[in-house]
C-alpha cells in the first residue's frame, strides 16, 4: 500500500472572531482519497484509585468547588495507587498495541505535563546524564523493546492525539509499510490538584496507545487541521467559532459534503456547553455528539479520543468521524476519519 500524498498545505484566514487578537497560522493537511494512513488498535488504562468529588476535596486535591465541577457533569476521577507509577499503567496498553504489530517503524510518545516526560530524579544529583531518565526509554525497557526509534513531546497539552497524528504521519515515506505506535501518558504531578480552577476541568491519571499504519482497518485518516496560540486567555466563543470554521475548511478541501454523511463528532471531556454549541452551529442533519465518560472518569487528556474511538466503531465503511482536541491556551485541532469495515490489524 502506498502512502497518500499531502494534497495541499494552506493558510487558514478568518480563524478569529472579530476584535480578537490573531493566532498562528493553522496546519491544514488534506489526504488523497485513494490511499491513506489508518488508525487502529486502541487501548487504554487509568489509575486504579477511583475518587468521587467529596473524596478528592477531603484529601485536599481539589482547587475548585464540588458544586462547580458537578454542574459540568464531573463526579469521579482516577489516580495512581501507592504501588502504581505512570510507567506501570502505560506498559499494558502499549504491550497490547505491540502484540498486533510485531514490527514497528517507530514509537511516538506524548505528554500533557512536562513532569510526565522524565522519571523523578534525585535533587542532589548534579549530573545531567543521570537526571535525563526519559519516560519512553523506561517503558520500553520494561517491555524489553530495544533498537526501535522513539520520539517524545509534551508541548501539545491535551491536543496530543492530533499532534501525534501529525508527528507519526511524517515518519512514513512512499515505500514504508511498518506502522508507528503512538502512546499517551500523564499523571498528576506531585503537589498539584486534580482540577484546573479557572477552567473548571477535572482530570484523571491515564495512559493509552494506538497504531498508525497502512493496513485498511479501524479508521482512515482523511485530513486534519491544527492551530496554535500563545495567549493566556482564549474566549470560549472564539473556540466555538474557530472549531466550526476549521472543520468546514477541512471538509471543503477534502471535497466532503458533511450534510450528506452520517457524522460522529468526538469531543474531549471539557467545556460541554461549548461543544454543544459547535454541534448546533454546524447544522448537520445526521450528527452524533460524543462526549464519553465525563461523569465516570473525568478528562483524560489525549486519551479521551482513544477511548471514544475504541468504543464506537461499527464496521460501517465510510461513516465519518470528527475528532476535536483542545489544549488549554495551547492548541486547537481536529481531524476527519472514515470508518473502515475491519476493526483491527491482521497479525
Q: For position 273, which CATH number holds?
A: 3.40.47.10
> How much is the pLDDT for 22?
32
> How much is the pLDDT for 291?
96
The model's pLDDT over 113-160, given as tens digits with 9 standing for 90+, comes to 999 998 887 778 777 777 778 999 999 999 999 999 999 988 999 999
Does residue 345 sit within a domain? no
From 194, 213, 232, give the residue that closes a domain: 213
> How much is the pLDDT for 83?
97
Examine the domain organization and report whether 97 and 205 are in the same domain.
yes
> How much is the pLDDT for 6?
29
CA distances for 55 relative to 51, 78, 176, 209, 284, angstroms: 6, 11, 50, 29, 41
Examine the domain organization and report whether 297 and 322 are in the same domain.
yes
Contact in structure between 220 and 95 (CB atoms under 8 Å): no
CA distances for 283 relative to 259, 268, 276, 288, 343, angstroms: 8, 20, 11, 12, 30
Examine the domain organization and report whether 173 and 232 are in the same domain.
no
- By DSSP bridging, strand 106-110 and strand 263-266 are unpaired
Of the candidates 321, 317, 319, the one whose C-alpha atom is nearest the C-alpha of residue 334 is 321
> How much is the pLDDT for 15?
32
Q: Is the dihedral of CA 87, 162, 7, 342 positive or negative?
A: positive
Tally of domains in the chain: 2
The model's pLDDT over 90-108, given as tens digits with 9 standing for 90+, comes to 999 999 999 999 889 999 9
Taking residue 283's Cβ as centre, other Cβ atoms within 10 Å add up to 10
> How much is the pLDDT for 26?
61
**Contacting residues for 74 by C-beta, under 8 A, at least 6 apart:** 53, 202, 294, 295, 298
Contact in structure between 95 and 137 (CB atoms under 8 Å): no
**Contacting residues for 136 by C-beta, under 8 A, at least 6 apart:** 107, 109, 150, 152, 183
pLDDT in tens, the chain (347 residues): 323 222 333 333 333 333 333 333 467 766 544 457 999 999 999 999 999 999 999 999 999 999 999 999 999 999 999 999 999 999 999 999 999 998 899 999 999 999 999 888 777 877 777 777 899 999 999 999 999 999 998 899 999 999 999 999 989 876 767 999 999 999 999 999 999 999 999 999 999 999 999 999 999 999 999 999 999 889 999 999 999 999 999 999 999 999 999 999 999 999 999 999 999 999 999 999 999 999 999 999 999 999 999 999 999 998 999 999 999 888 999 999 999 999 876 54
> How much is the pLDDT for 30?
67
Examine the domain organization and report whether 134 and 221 are in the same domain.
no
Contact in structure between 218 and 39 (CB atoms under 8 Å): yes
From 189, 213, 237, give the residue that closes a domain: 213
Examine the domain organization and report whether 281 and 208 are in the same domain.
no
Unique residue bearing C-alpha cell 509534551? 154
- Rounded CA separation 41/252 (Å): 29
From 213, 228, 252, give the residue that closes a domain: 213
- By DSSP bridging, strand 76-79 and strand 49-52 are antiparallel
> How much is the pLDDT for 5?
29
> How much is the pLDDT for 127?
73
> How much is the pLDDT for 18?
34
What nine digits make up the cell of 48?
486504579
Environment class of 149 (CB within 10 Å of its CB; exposed 0-12, middle 13-18, buried 19+): exposed
pTM: 0.89
Does residue 344 sit within a domain? no
Q: Which domain holds residue 90?
A: 41-213
Contact in structure between 309 and 39 (CB atoms under 8 Å): yes
Amino acid at each position: 500500500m502506498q502512502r497518500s500524498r499531502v494534497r495541499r498545505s494552506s493558510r487558514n484566514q478568518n480563524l478569529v472572531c472579530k476584535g480578537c487578537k490573531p493566532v498562528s497560522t493553522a496546519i491544514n493537511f488534506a489526504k488523497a482519497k485513494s490511499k491513506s494512513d489508518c488508525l487502529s488498535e486502541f487501548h487504554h488504562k487509568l489509575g486504579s484509585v477511583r475518587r468521587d468529588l467529596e473524596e478528592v476535596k477531603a484529601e485536599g486535591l481539589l482547587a475548585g468547588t464540588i458544586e462547580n465541577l458537578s454542574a459540568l457533569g464531573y463526579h469521579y476521577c482516577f489516580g495512581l495507587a501507592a504501588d502504581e507509577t505512570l510507567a506501570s499503567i502505560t506498559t499494558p496498553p502499549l504491550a497490547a498495541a505491540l502484540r498486533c504489530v510485531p514490527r514497528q517503524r517507530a514509537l511516538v510518545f506524548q505528554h500533557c505535563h512536562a513532569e510526565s516526560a522524565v522519571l523523578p530524579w534525585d535533587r542532589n544529583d548534579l549530573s545531567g546524564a543521570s537526571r535525563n531518565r526519559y519516560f519512553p526509554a523506561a517503558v520500553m525497557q520494561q517491555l524489553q523493546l530495544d533498537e526501535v526509534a522513539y520520539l517524545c513531546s509534551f508541548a501539545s497539552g491535551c491536543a496530543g492525539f492530533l499532534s501525534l497524528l501529525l508527528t507519526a504521519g511524517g515518519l512514513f515515506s512512499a515505500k514504508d509499510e511498518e506502522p508507528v505506535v503512538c502512546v499517551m501518558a500523564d499523571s498528576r504531578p506531585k503537589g498539584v490538584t486534580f482540577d484546573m480552577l479557572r477552567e473548571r476541568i477535572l482530570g484523571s491519571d491515564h495512559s493509552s496507545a494506538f497504531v498508525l499504519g497502512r493496513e485498511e482497518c479501524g479508521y482512515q485518516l482523511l485530513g486534519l487541521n491544527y492551530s496554535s496560540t500563545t495567549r493566556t486567555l482564549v474566549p470560549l466563543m472564539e473556540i466555538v467559532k474557530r472549531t466550526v470554521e476549521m472543520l468546514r475548511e477541512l471538509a471543503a478541501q477534502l471535497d466532503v459534503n458533511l450534510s450528506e454523511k452520517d457524522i460522529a463528532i468526538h469531543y474531549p471531556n471539557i467545556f460541554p456547553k461549548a461543544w454543544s454549541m459547535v454541534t448546533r452551529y454546524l447544522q448537520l442533519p445526521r450528527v452524533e455528539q460524543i462526549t464519553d465518560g465525563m461523569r465516570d472518569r473525568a478528562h483524560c487528556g489525549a486519551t479521551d479520543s482513544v477511548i471514544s474511538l475504541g468504543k464506537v466503531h461499527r464496521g460501517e465503511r465510510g461513516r465519518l468521524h470528527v475528532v476535536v482536541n483542545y489544549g488549554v491556551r495551547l492548541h486547537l485541532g481536529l481531524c476527519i476519519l472514515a470508518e473502515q469495515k475491519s476493526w483491527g490489524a491482521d497479525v
